[in-house]
Amino acid sequence: MEPAAPAIPGAIDFTVPPRLQELLGRVRAYVAEDVLPAEREVADPTDLLASWPVVEGLRDRARERGIFTPHLPEEWGGLGIGVLGMSLISQVCGVSGLASLGLHAMAPDEGNMHILLHAGSPGQLERWLRPLAEGRIRSCFAMTEPDVASSDPLNLETTALRDGDEYVLNGRKWFITGAEGAAFSIVVARTGEPDLKHRAYSLIIVPCDTPGWSVVRDPGIIGAHFPGGHPEIELREVRVPVENLLGEEGAGFRIAQVRLAAGRLAHAMRWIGVAQRALDLTAQRMLERRTFGRELARHQALQFFLADSAMDLYASRLMVLHTAWKVEQGLPHRQEVAMAKTFVSEAFGRVMDRAVQVFGSHGIATDEPIARWYADARAARIYDGASEVHRMVIARELLELAAQGGSTAGACGDLG
């Protein structure tokens, strides 16, 4: 008998690098020892500004543990952790809405830090990034508008017209996360003629105390609660100096892409984190709750709930981590980001729907976490790109490959 051929060394390595393992250990300890106990101090989870001292206390603990702003470069007080590392950290933090806030690694501030690092002038970095990175101020990102379908960004109507050495902004924005109490906003506004399409839009920094900037109302939403709410904003003859332009005029959408991939992956990993916590609670309840003379865990139909949720989480983790790896390697990743955002947001909804069913009346009680997470899951399919828009992007890539007469495998994750 011939000896067996030597095994070919595998090229796929799913181990977490030692530096990240150590950091993730510190983040897990932070969540277990500081964040989860702090949840009891929050009077109203839908109004985190009212409990802002709790967040500030968690930020002090994060600084003491050396895990504050892990996404920022070391020269800005961070740890220089890339997209893959932040995806893992976000998963750990996802078990509590307070965790990423405590690390100061939560939208919209996290995304705005990335944009400023990418496109900010030295003066803008010192004036806006420095206090934002240190946690002394908050910010918001103003893109979505109430009167147009913002899934098609070429619909946006807010204008920024040049008048000498100033821009004059007029328009309305809404669902502007964190706007209440924010020090500044990065506003998406049209600076060119519509026929320029994407190149007609720019990013402009607007201090929120500028005359003409006003919070109209906060309509209140289901799920996705953040400090500063999600209010509607009116900009009426808002004047800011031209040096508040980020990057070049007409480069707004290109610059905004800096925040989108990492931001969508961070959201996805946070959803995975809270879905895992919900699954843990669901499994525990099934072991403890009895119906018809036996534990819920002994009913096969409910066992299938657990199995399906486990598969949703497994697939979700692999999709996000592979996409994050592609981002860090500088490989094309738009297709994978769209697929990950869509799949994970919907998997989150499926896991939460099963949890509600197992918890029964406790699953729809709004003073208990399952119902709040269920609402979060429904909102996840809308913000950061509706599922239908991402599906359009995914399908377009598939059809382009098919039109070239080749396989569509390259638009299905490109895994060989």
Q: pLDDT tier at 2 (50, 70, 90 boundaries)?
A: low
Q: pLDDT tier at 261 (50, 70, 90 boundaries)?
A: confident
Nearest alpha-carbon partner for 61 in 31, 84, 83: 31
Torsions phi, psi of 35, nearest 5? -75, -55
- Give how far the C-alpha of residue 234 lies from the chain's centroid of Cα atoms, to the nearest Å: 25
Output the pLDDT for position 405: 93
Model pTM? 0.90
* CA dist., res. 257 & res. 253, Å (int): 6
- Judged against a pLDDT cut of 60, whether residue 305 lies above it is answered with yes
Q: Helix, strand or coil for residue 172?
A: strand
Q: pLDDT tier at 5 (50, 70, 90 boundaries)?
A: low
Q: Which string of b and e fits 358-389 if b means at least 16 CB within 10 Å?
A: bbeeebeeeeebbbbbbbbbbbbbbbbbbbeb
Domains of the chain (ranges, CATH numbers): 18-108+128-133 (1.10.540.10), 139-246 (2.40.110.10), 253-411 (1.20.140.10)
**Using one digit for the tens of pLDDT, what is the confidence trace for 22-55?**
999 999 999 999 999 999 999 887 778 888 999 9
Output the pLDDT for position 149: 76
**Using one digit for the tens of pLDDT, what is the confidence trace for 151-194?**
788 889 999 999 999 999 999 999 999 999 999 999 999 999 98
Q: pLDDT tier at 384 (50, 70, 90 boundaries)?
A: confident
Output the pLDDT for position 10: 54
Do the beta carbons of residue 141 and residue 112 sit within 8 Å?
Answer: yes
